[in-house]
Structure 1
Amino acid sequence: MDDIAAATAAAKPLSERSLLQALLRLYAGGDSIHINYYGPPATIPTLSYDDILAADESGLAGLRERIGGRAVFIGAARTTWSGQKDGFYTVFSQPDGLDLSGVEIAATVYGNLIDNTAVRRLSPLSCTLLLTAAGIAAALICTLCPPVISGGILLLLSACAVAAAGFTFDRHCLWPPLVIPLSLQLPLAFVVATIHHSVRASRERGNIRRALELYLPGSAVDELTRDLSFIRNGDRMVYGACLLTDAQRYTTLSESVTPEELSRVMKEYYQHLFQPVTDWGGQVCNIIGDSMLAIWPSAGQEVQPREKACHAALQLLTAIDRFNRLNPENALPTRIGLHYGYLLMGNIGAGSHFEYAPIGDIVNTASRIEGLNKLLGTRALASEAAIASVHGVASRLLGRFLFAGKTQPITIYQLLTTKELAASERHVLDELFEKALTEFRSQRWEEAATGFERCLTLQDEDGPSRYYHQLCRSYRDQPLSADWDGVIAVGK
């Protein structure tokens, strides 16, 4: 090796130096080389042996000029498949079966050595660095960009990589790695990133849906996820039972505790309130301070939504009692009003702010019924429309009332809890109250007052009896017209 290197340095003619350099590269290189083929069969100049033998003096002179100073390989080279003696399949093999002959391949190898144009692969370190860079770039692109954009970028980068590889192969005989980046790294990065984006998007949609369901009914969330026009065009008319609650000591509580403590108490309070509504298939539509609005919608006038609402109201009373026992210092006695009718479920608002809520007289009437509890000393009142045909719910008729601003009176019932029904005097109390109420409607004030006094004797805390007893005294002192139909005007 040292002798060849010394001879190469001392060689004067360029051809001599090229041969010695080729010989040096051959010995210093690996056990094999990657052949850089020049083209299909007959690309390397080929002379027929017959033509050389038959050449005259002038022809021989031309041959000397043509092949002088060049290496000549002698062997069998044919231009047709049928006459081929030996052939080797290469990238330039012809469709008709013609392959490169052995002598052409030998000449190609010799030319590669002389011109130093053999195909050279990148070093293992260079390949590792290139593949690592390609993998990192693909991962970053696919992670940071949406699948559509990242797919386009990867296709563009693939085209650029192929063009760059072709250029380096053509100009510098370098063979950069393409199979692993193009067939493995980029597709794998795209697929993994697409799955990642899909899973993350699905998780985000799930989180958004769960968050929306804390503020909106599930049906409204379904409509919104399908089409945002539901915000402006999603109003629908339904029948429904409307339940409204109001905490009595909320104002006092808010003045006596810090906002943080008030928030904690109200969260626990509403946790007790929401559970019965959810258990009985209701939808919490709105919360304003200490008030909760829940509905049980239905396509038509059905008994089931009313039954569920009535049972939920009674279970709410039990839940409120449990909350007050657990929080004696922050107790919140709560009143409930229940009504049933036709309403519109839709989005209230304009511009950039909307709220999904029930709209209609039913909501206002439920609020009036809830407020009547304070006057009658009761906890849960329902209209006749809300309790009609409902089974399994105990109630007591309290009379007909006309609320301020209303033109039609409403028959009101008191919903009775299991605890109230368990009282030993309950049956007698209800019978006495019913008789006294009949006397009241007949304008027999003394008899009615006596009946309500007997009710108070049995149960001193019976609010409706106390209310009617006071009303009898008032009407006795200020008699009503003879055609009075038993309707009591309230709030005027």
Structure 2
Amino acid sequence: MKIGPVKIAPAQMPPVLGRVQNAVVLALVTAGIAMLLALTPVARMMEEELGLSWLFTLRGPLPPPSGVAIVSLDRQSARRLGLPPQVRLWPRSLRATLIAELKKRGATAIAFDLTLETPTDQIQDGALTRAIAAARSVVLVEALEREEVAVTDAQGNPAGHMAIVKAIPPIEPFAKAAAALAPFPLPKIAARTNQFWAFKEGAGDRLTLPAAALQVHAASVHAVWLSRLREADVPGLETLPPDNDLLSEPGSVQKASLAVRRALLQDPGLIDRLTPLPARLGEHERRLIDALNRLHTGPQHYYLNLYGPASTITVIPFADLIENKPIPDLNGRAVFVGVAERSSTNVDSFYTVFSTGDGIDISGVEIAATGFANLLDDTTLAMPRQGTVVAMLAGFGLAVGFVAYLLPGTWAVAATLFIAWAWLSFTLKMFEQNHLWLPLAVPLLVQVPLALFGGLLWQYLSANLERVNVSRAIRYYLPEKAAADMARGSTDPGSARDLVFGTCVASDAARFTALAEALPPRELATLLDSYFATVFEQIQLQGGTVTDVVGDGIMSVWANPQPDRAQRIRAVMAALDMATAIQRFNRQHPSRPMPTRIGLHTGWIMVGNVGGKGHFAWSVVGDIPNTASRIEGLNKHLGTTILASREAVGDLDMVLTRRLGRFRLFGKAGELDIHEVIARRTEASPSQLRLVSLFESALEAFEGGRIAEASDLLHSVLSEFPDDGPSRFHLDRCASHCAGIRVLDDSAVVRLEAK
């Protein structure tokens, strides 16, 4: 069972199936976290504060909408006309002049983002009232007032308070003359203004200023729009003017919208069941009717599709109109009137994504005009349903999570960033072309970092675990240092060799061949595992390294850069402990004993990788391990268990040894002084000490050529120690010499002719 050549190859990727499974797990985690996040307000906040901002920034400003313009009551106009800076102090007759001029220029709706709650001079107010009535297209803003009302239970006891929102109209003459009255609140959901109301919740679902302006702007199609609804018996329309002229009676616009909206929301399929539009209608009229239908079937509030920074929408200074300066064509446009100037001191302004660094925000009247243009042109921002958003986040998470783990590090980063870029490009295209607002912040700020961090960390941990497993596996076959070097990838197999001074211990089990023939392979393997565990434990306890295992034979080494007596002591102690442990093993397996012979030799050796062409074996190279193996084999001839060269044990006085003579081993040119290792000196028995003493005298006579004397002394040793193998070996040599069978050329050197 030799440890075969170890093939040292470049690190390879883990099995594909395992990587795919891990990639799927990471993909599911990435998708799952984003899906859970999408169900919380945090995701909407991220998208509104970050994702929407990125989309507007990347898209940039748009051309101004063609259906709306703004007349700005600005301070520059005040200076030109000699008016006070405060707009509320301007003569109302100027506003009357403004209305008349706008009507003359073809404005379809005139929406004032200015409250008119208090009367002023009768003449001024009268002029403005007449102008409003004559235009029949003026929408005046209502103020909203929140009032806390005490609530009682059935017994009349206080039960808390209820908030009521009241609309505060302009003064009565203006209210009766106006085509419509409408509030203009803005949702206070985030720091940035992103939305506007079309129907004000809590105020009777009243049309807001942008929506009321759209209704007035579409006056030319009221008759067709309402007649089709009347045919469908929509409740509430019977109180409207019979000719469907909503501008002829105060409040008709709000009443009509409320009735139509309730009917369409209660019966969503009603729109599709209406009679077809008359063929005589042109494209413009059809677009107006579609806009009215979308308004009354849509949500209460919308996300603003902003056109750009302040003054992107066409802004006309008030003074230019009054002074009859050249201005853009207003025919067919709705005109919003309010304070709109590029100034950081404008109190009627709102922070948006297009607010500039110098503090210039978008004015309230520009927000109203933007909402109107969005409703008219169907360009309000739309978000997919929550289920679709969750599905998108799941798909994106699966994609980035999968590639972040499946691909190697650099490729994983590149592929993940490419997917992120592709998603960004897709969402921007949908935003620009379809006004569709898809999730962006959560994919880029949550899923991409999570996938990359999780994928790369998991790859690192997996690779590290693989290195640990490989290192642990290699340590079963290689020494600790060699295994550590291989695990770090720092080993050059062809050059990983060291010249050291070491003591080699070779061991081999006797009668193993017969045992292998008698046992089935599985039982033999189990027995060997137990045997090797017994031997290896003693080697490792003494700091040795197993370098080769061949069949039942083991080669181990104790090495040091320079000659080290302590290393030789540990090797000898290991040999003694191995012999003791094997005796215990054999007592535990009496029917399958494995008596073991051990040989030791010391000298300079080369340790490291041996091989070529990608196949290497870690081994010990040199004459020393070969000689140790020959010394181990000498035990067969001498009937001993542990033999060692003088170089290994000659100066170790803590060990009881006996010199057995000088031997020229089979296949070797030089002679070795061989010693038997008997026991630790502190554990040696009196009989062992006597045997050493008696044998020493006999060996001295033998090596001195006094064969007869040596024979007598050896007979004396065997009479006291009949099982002593070395005594019988040398006595046989004496007898052969005396009988002339084998004449010794040199009695001081034993020459072996077989292993």
Structure 1 contact 7–20 (Cα < 8 Å) conserved:
no
In the aligned structure 2, how far is the partner of 1:440 from the partner of 1:130? 97
In the aligned structure 1, how far is the partner of 2:569 from the partner of 2:680? 16
Match of 1:113 in 2: 375
- For residues 382-435 of structure 1, give each alpha carbon's deviation from its aligned partner in whole angstroms, at most 9, with x where no partner exists: 000111332432211111111233332111111114799665533332221111
Structure 2 contact 655–681 (Cα < 8 Å) conserved:
no
Structure 2 contact 420–444 (Cα < 8 Å) conserved:
yes
Match of 2:311 in 1: 42
In the aligned structure 2, how far is the partner of 1:48 from the partner of 1:206? 77
Query: Per-residue deviation at 1:76?
Result: 2.0
Query: Per-residue deviation at 1:47?
Result: 2.1
Query: Per-residue deviation at 1:229?
Result: 5.1
Residue 720 of structure 2 aligns with an amino acid whose one-letter code is L
- Relative distance call for 1:366 and 1:22 in structure 2 (3 A) is same
Match of 2:43 in 1: none
Out of 369-378 and 346-355, give the one that drifted further.
Answer: 346-355
Out of 19-28 and 419-428, give the one that drifted further.
Answer: 419-428
Match of 2:341 in 1: 78
Residue 335 of structure 2: SS of its match in structure 1? coil
Query: Per-residue deviation at 1:491?
Result: 2.1
Query: Per-residue deviation at 1:312?
Result: 0.4
Residue 348 of structure 2: SS of its match in structure 1? coil
In the aligned structure 2, how far is the partner of 1:229 from the partner of 1:309? 28
Structure 1 residue 53 corresponds to structure 2 residue 316: no
Match of 1:453 in 2: 715
- Relative distance call for 1:92 and 1:420 in structure 2 (3 A) is closer
Where in structure 2 are the equivalents of 1:174-193 lying within 5 Å?
174-193=436-455
Match of 2:521 in 1: 259
Structure 1 contact 8–20 (Cα < 8 Å) conserved:
no
Match of 1:196 in 2: 458
Please give the root-mean-square deviation of Cα atoms over the aligned residues, in Å: 2.4
Residue 302 of structure 2: SS of its match in structure 1? coil
- Relative distance call for 1:113 and 1:377 in structure 2 (3 A) is same
In the aligned structure 2, how far is the partner of 1:271 from the partner of 1:95? 78
Query: Per-residue deviation at 1:92?
Result: 1.7
Which of 1 and 2 has higher RCO (CA within 8 Å, sep 6+)? 2
Match of 1:69 among 332, 338, 346: 332
Query: Per-residue deviation at 1:10?
Result: 4.8
Match of 1:248 in 2: 510
Match of 1:486 in 2: 748
Residue 200 of structure 1 aligns with an amino acid whose one-letter code is S
Match of 1:315 among 574, 577, 601: 577
Query: Per-residue deviation at 1:204?
Result: 0.7
- For residues 428-465 of structure 1, give each alpha carbon's deviation from its aligned partner in whole angstroms, at most 9, with x where no partner exists: 32221111111112211121111111111111110011
Match of 2:26 in 1: none
Out of 410-419 and 160-169, give the one that drifted further.
Answer: 410-419
Out of 141-150 and 100-109, give the one that drifted further.
Answer: 141-150
Structure 1 residue 299 corresponds to structure 2 residue 299: no
Residue 634 of structure 2: SS of its match in structure 1? helix
The structure whose residues are more often helix, as a share, is 1
Match of 2:302 in 1: 33
- For residues 257-288 of structure 1, give each alpha carbon's deviation from its aligned partner in whole angstroms, at most 9, with x where no partner exists: 22212211111111111110000000000001
Match of 1:124 in 2: 386
Query: Per-residue deviation at 1:54?
Result: 2.4
Residue 121 of structure 1: SS of its match in structure 2? coil
Structure 2 contact 646–673 (Cα < 8 Å) conserved:
yes
Instruction: Compute the TM-score of the two structures, normalised by the length of structure 1.
Output: 0.92
Structure 1 residue 269 corresponds to structure 2 residue 551: no
In the aligned structure 1, how far is the partner of 2:653 from the partner of 2:690? 22
Structure 1 contact 280–312 (Cα < 8 Å) conserved:
yes
Residue 287 of structure 2 aligns with an amino acid whose one-letter code is S
Query: Per-residue deviation at 1:230?
Result: 2.4
Out of 140-149 and 152-161, give the one that drifted further.
Answer: 140-149
Out of 227-236 and 9-18, give the one that drifted further.
Answer: 9-18
In the aligned structure 2, how far is the partner of 1:320 from the partner of 1:244? 14
Where in structure 2 are the equivalents of 1:27-426 lying within 5 Å?
27-55=296-324, 66-81=329-344, 84=346, 86-227=348-489, 230-417=492-679, 425-426=687-688
Residue 21 of structure 1 aligns with an amino acid whose one-letter code is D
- For residues 13-66 of structure 1, give each alpha carbon's deviation from its aligned partner in whole angstroms, at most 9, with x where no partner exists: 54444344333333332231111111122221222222222229xx6xx87xx2
Residue 160 of structure 1: SS of its match in structure 2? helix
Residue 55 of structure 1 aligns with an amino acid whose one-letter code is N
- For residues 88-117 of structure 1, give each alpha carbon's deviation from its aligned partner in whole angstroms, at most 9, with x where no partner exists: 221222333222122111111000000110
In the aligned structure 2, how far is the partner of 1:153 from the partner of 1:166? 20
Match of 2:82 in 1: none
- Relative distance call for 1:118 and 1:450 in structure 2 (3 A) is same
Residue 234 of structure 1 aligns with an amino acid whose one-letter code is A
Query: Per-residue deviation at 1:195?
Result: 1.9
In the aligned structure 2, how far is the partner of 1:131 from the partner of 1:289? 61
Name stretches of at least 5 consecutive residues in structure 1 with no aligned partner.
Answer: none
Query: Per-residue deviation at 1:472?
Result: 1.4
- Relative distance call for 1:397 and 1:90 in structure 2 (3 A) is same
Match of 2:117 in 1: none
- For residues 236-263 of structure 1, give each alpha carbon's deviation from its aligned partner in whole angstroms, at most 9, with x where no partner exists: 1100000001111111111112221221
In the aligned structure 2, how far is the partner of 1:200 from the partner of 1:97? 52
Structure 1 contact 307–391 (Cα < 8 Å) conserved:
no
- Relative distance call for 1:291 and 1:232 in structure 2 (3 A) is same
In the aligned structure 1, how far is the partner of 2:274 from the partner of 2:536? 98
Residue 412 of structure 1 aligns with an amino acid whose one-letter code is I
Name stretches of at least 5 consecutive residues in structure 2 with no aligned partner.
Answer: 1-228, 238-259, 261-270
- Relative distance call for 1:238 and 1:212 in structure 2 (3 A) is same
Query: Per-residue deviation at 1:476?
Result: 2.7
In the aligned structure 1, how far is the partner of 2:552 from the partner of 2:620? 18
Match of 1:23 in 2: 292
Query: Per-residue deviation at 1:477?
Result: 3.6
Query: Per-residue deviation at 1:85?
Result: 5.5
In the aligned structure 1, how far is the partner of 2:585 from the partner of 2:355? 90
Residue 268 of structure 1 aligns with an amino acid whose one-letter code is S
In the aligned structure 1, how far is the partner of 2:551 from the partner of 2:744? 40
Structure 1 contact 284–294 (Cα < 8 Å) conserved:
yes
Match of 2:198 in 1: none
Residue 736 of structure 2: SS of its match in structure 1? helix
Query: Per-residue deviation at 1:226?
Result: 4.0
- Relative distance call for 1:102 and 1:7 in structure 2 (3 A) is farther
Residue 348 of structure 1 aligns with an amino acid whose one-letter code is V
Query: Per-residue deviation at 1:148?
Result: 2.0
